[in-house]
C-alpha cells in the first residue's frame, strides 16, 4: 500500500508538470509576444504578406497587380467597343464581345479586392492612352497602347481596322499575360492568384485565335 501511494503521487506530479509545460509553451511573455520557440513558420510564398480584418493574406504585389491590371483591362474594353462601327468581320465582332464580357467582370473583381485591402482603386482614365498623370498605375505597362495608337485604331475602317485591331490586341494580351505571371510569382492573395491564372489561360487562347484570324 505504501508503494502504491508513492507511485500514484509520482504519476500525479508528472501529470501536473506536463500540464505546466504545455501551458507555458502556448503562452506569451510579459510583452504579449509569442515565444520564438512556438512562432509560426512563414513560407517564402507569403513572406511580407499582411493580414486584413477578414483574415485573408495579401501583399504589395497583389495591390500592384490589381491597380495596374484594372486600367489595362479598361483599355482592352475600350478597344473592343470600337469594333461595332468599324468592321463587318463577324469573327472579330464575336471576339470583341467575348473580350468585353470577360474583362469587365474581372475589373469589378479587382476593384472589390482593392476595396477589401483598403487600397486605392485607379481612376477611370479611359481614352487617355497610357494615362499620363495617374497617381497609381504607372505608365508604360506592358502591352498598353499610346494615345496616338488608340487614335489610329479609332480612325481605321474595314480590313485596315481588322488588321490593326488584331495586331494591337495580341500585343495588349501579351502584356496582360506578363503582368499576370508577375502576380503568380510574387502575389499572396488566393483570389488575386486565381484571377491571374484565369487571365493567362483566357488570353493565351485568344492570342492563338487572333493570330489565326490575322494569318487568314
- For residue range 153-168, list pLDDT tens digits in order: 999 999 999 999 999 9
pLDDT of residue 38 exceeding 60, the answer is no
Sign of CA dihedral 65, 71, 76, 81: positive
Cα dihedral 99, 104, 105, 109 sign: positive
Report the distance separating Cα 175 and Cα 152, nearest Å. Answer: 20
* Helices (H), ranges, the chain: 2-26, 60-81, 90-117, 147-155, 158-186, 190-215
Return the residue matching grid coordinates 503521487.
9
How far apart CA 94 and CA 16 sit, in angstroms, is 74
Phi, psi dihedral angles at 164 (to 5 degrees): -60, -40
Per-residue pLDDT of 162-195, as tens digits, reads 999 999 999 999 999 999 999 999 999 999 999 9
Q: What angle do CA 134, 137, 140 make, to 5 degrees?
A: 95
Is residue 115 within 8 Å of 124, Cβ to Cβ? no
pLDDT tens digits for 102-137?
Answer: 999 999 999 999 999 999 999 987 655 444 433 333
Q: What is the CATH number of domain 50-215?
A: 1.20.1260.10
Amino acid at each position: 500500500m505504501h508503494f502504491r501511494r508513492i507511485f500514484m503521487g509520482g504519476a500525479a506530479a508528472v501529470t501536473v508538470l506536463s500540464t505546466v509545460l504545455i501551458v507555458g509553451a502556448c503562452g506569451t511573455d510579459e510583452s504579449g509576444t509569442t515565444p520564438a520557440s512556438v512562432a509560426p513558420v512563414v513560407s517564402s510564398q507569403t513572406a511580407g504578406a499582411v493580414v486584413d480584418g477578414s483574415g485573408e493574406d495579401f501583399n504589395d504585389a497583389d495591390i500592384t497587380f490589381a491597380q495596374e491590371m484594372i486600367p489595362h483591362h479598361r483599355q482592352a474594353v475600350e478597344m473592343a467597343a470600337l469594333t461595332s462601327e468599324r468592321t463587318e468581320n463577324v469573327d472579330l465582332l464575336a471576339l470583341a464581345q467575348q473580350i468585353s464580357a470577360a474583362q469587365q467582370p474581372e475589373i469589378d473583381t479587382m476593384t472589390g479586392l482593392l476595396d477589401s485591402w483598403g487600397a486605392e482603386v485607379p481612376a477611370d482614365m479611359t481614352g487617355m492612352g497610357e494615362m499620363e498623370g495617374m497617381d497609381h498605375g504607372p505608365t508604360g505597362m506592358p502591352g498598353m497602347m499610346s494615345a496616338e495608337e488608340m487614335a489610329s485604331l479609332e480612325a481605321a475602317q474595314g480590313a485596315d481596322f481588322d488588321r490593326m485591331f488584331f495586331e494591337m490586341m495580341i500585343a495588349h494580351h501579351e502584356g496582360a499575360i506578363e503582368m499576370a505571371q508577375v502576380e503568380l510569382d510574387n502575389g499572396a492573395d488566393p483570389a488575386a492568384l486565381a484571377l491571374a491564372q484565369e487571365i493567362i489561360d483566357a488570353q493565351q487562347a485568344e492570342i492563338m485565335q487572333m493570330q489565326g484570324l490575322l494569318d487568314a
